């Protein structure tokens, strides 16, 4: 269940209540007249089944509540109520599969920003991956994959393409490109200094074993894995399955490829740079294609669910 706290201009309170009561997935409706001060208005609260939230939020937007009032949505971890159980049963679909588009849009919008924490996490992940390549350690490479935050802007690109919000696409693309460029630059500097100090020499590539060679050998399987990871990552974000998202990070080689690029540049192994760049591009492209396709399918599925909901007689 989700809990909605809505600040409503007094002249639209009745319309909001009628909207909420018309939805089978809404329960526990409370109205507090003149309780809000900024913005001024009435406070309306209710619980709504997650799978019915899109219709409710869309109706509130049509009434202009998002501009003249306020809408806050919170997740309800525990609701002991027969009314809440009935609301979940009558709402179309299942809560685990439900996509709350406003919630998802807010999440990907946050993930599209190039912040210091994003750049720092990505730089640290790429450096760990570079060390993993140098010592031929799959454990370090997997750790770097988990630490990498690059799926945030990838999800934002997919959502921006779905909604044709080119500003979001541009901002997320810049975050992705600038983040990897800065992470590779920092890792290159560290690798270059380490190389000059004699910590490793130009023969390091000969020590790269079969377990880590996949980083610089892009093939059809690389693209297939990227497609599967993109679809799984998008499903985990829309259904709030964070544990599945960790598995997505482990399955793609964006961060290890970036680490390989940095070390190859530091020791002037130019012939290894291009395959690593291709691997990085293949993974990102595959995740964007699959992520966008997943969102399109979800929009069609939940569009049909909302249509079925409209056919149900208001209570």
CA distance 149 to 248: 11
CB of 85 closer than 8 Å to CB of 47: no
Q: Where are the alpha helices (DSSP H) in 91-209?
A: 101-111, 116-134, 138-147, 151-163, 166-196
95 token code pair:
């809560």
Question: What was the pLDDT predicted at 68?
Answer: 92
Q: Which band of pLDDT confidence, cut at 50, 70 and 90, is reported for residue 311? A: very low
Is the pLDDT at 226 greater than 70? The verdict is yes
Question: What was the pLDDT predicted at 304?
Answer: 55
Mean pLDDT for 233-252 is 65
CA distance 78 to 80: 7
% of residues, the chain, pLDDT over 90: 41
| pLDDT tens, residue by residue, 109-129 | 988 999 999 999 999 999 999
Q: Which band of pLDDT confidence, cut at 50, 70 and 90, is reported for residue 274? A: confident
Question: What was the pLDDT predicted at 245?
Answer: 56
Angle, alpha carbons 22-26-31 (nearest 5°): 90
Q: Which band of pLDDT confidence, cut at 50, 70 and 90, is reported for residue 251? A: low
Question: What was the pLDDT predicted at 159?
Answer: 94
| pLDDT tens, residue by residue, 124-158 | 999 999 998 888 788 888 888 888 888 889 999 99
% of residues, the chain, pLDDT over 70: 83
């Amino acid at each position: 269940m989700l809990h909605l706290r809505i600040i409503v201009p007094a002249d639209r309170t009745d319309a909001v209540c009628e909207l909420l009561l018309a939805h089978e997935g809404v329960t526990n409706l409370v109205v507090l007249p003149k309780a809000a001060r900024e913005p001024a208005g009435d406070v309306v609260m209710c619980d709504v089944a997650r799978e019915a939230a899109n219709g409710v939020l869309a109706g509130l937007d049509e009434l202009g509540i998002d501009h003249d009032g306020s809408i806050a949505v919170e997740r309800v971890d525990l609701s002991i109520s027969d009314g809440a159980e009935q609301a979940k049963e009558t709402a179309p679909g299942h809560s685990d599969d439900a996509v709350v588009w406003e919630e998802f849009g807010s999440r990907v919008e946050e993930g599209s920003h190039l912040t210091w924490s994003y750049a720092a996490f990505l730089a640290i992940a790429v450096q760990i991956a570079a060390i993993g390549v140098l010592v031929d350690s799959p454990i370090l490479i997997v750790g770097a994959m988990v630490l990498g935050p690059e799926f945030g802007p990838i999800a934002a690109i997919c959502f921006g393409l779905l909604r044709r919000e080119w500003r979001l696409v541009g901002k997320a693309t810049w975050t992705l490109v600038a983040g990897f460029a800065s992470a590779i630059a920092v890792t290159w500097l560290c690798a270059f200094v380490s190389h000059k100090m004699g910590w490793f020499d130009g023969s390091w590539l000969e020590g790269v074993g079969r377990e880590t060679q996949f980083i610089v050998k892009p093939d059809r399987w690389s693209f297939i894995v990227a497609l599967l990871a993109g679809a799984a990552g998008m499903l985990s974000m829309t259904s709030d399955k964070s544990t599945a998202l960790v598995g997505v990070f482990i399955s793609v080689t964006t961060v290890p490829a970036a680490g390989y690029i940095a070390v190859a540049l530091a020791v002037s192994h130019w012939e290894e740079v291009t395959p690593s760049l291709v691997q990085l591009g293949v993974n990102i492209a595959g995740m964007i294609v699959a992520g966008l396709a997943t969102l399109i399918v979800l929009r069609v599925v939940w569009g049909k669910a909302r249509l079925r909901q409209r056919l149900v007689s208001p209570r």
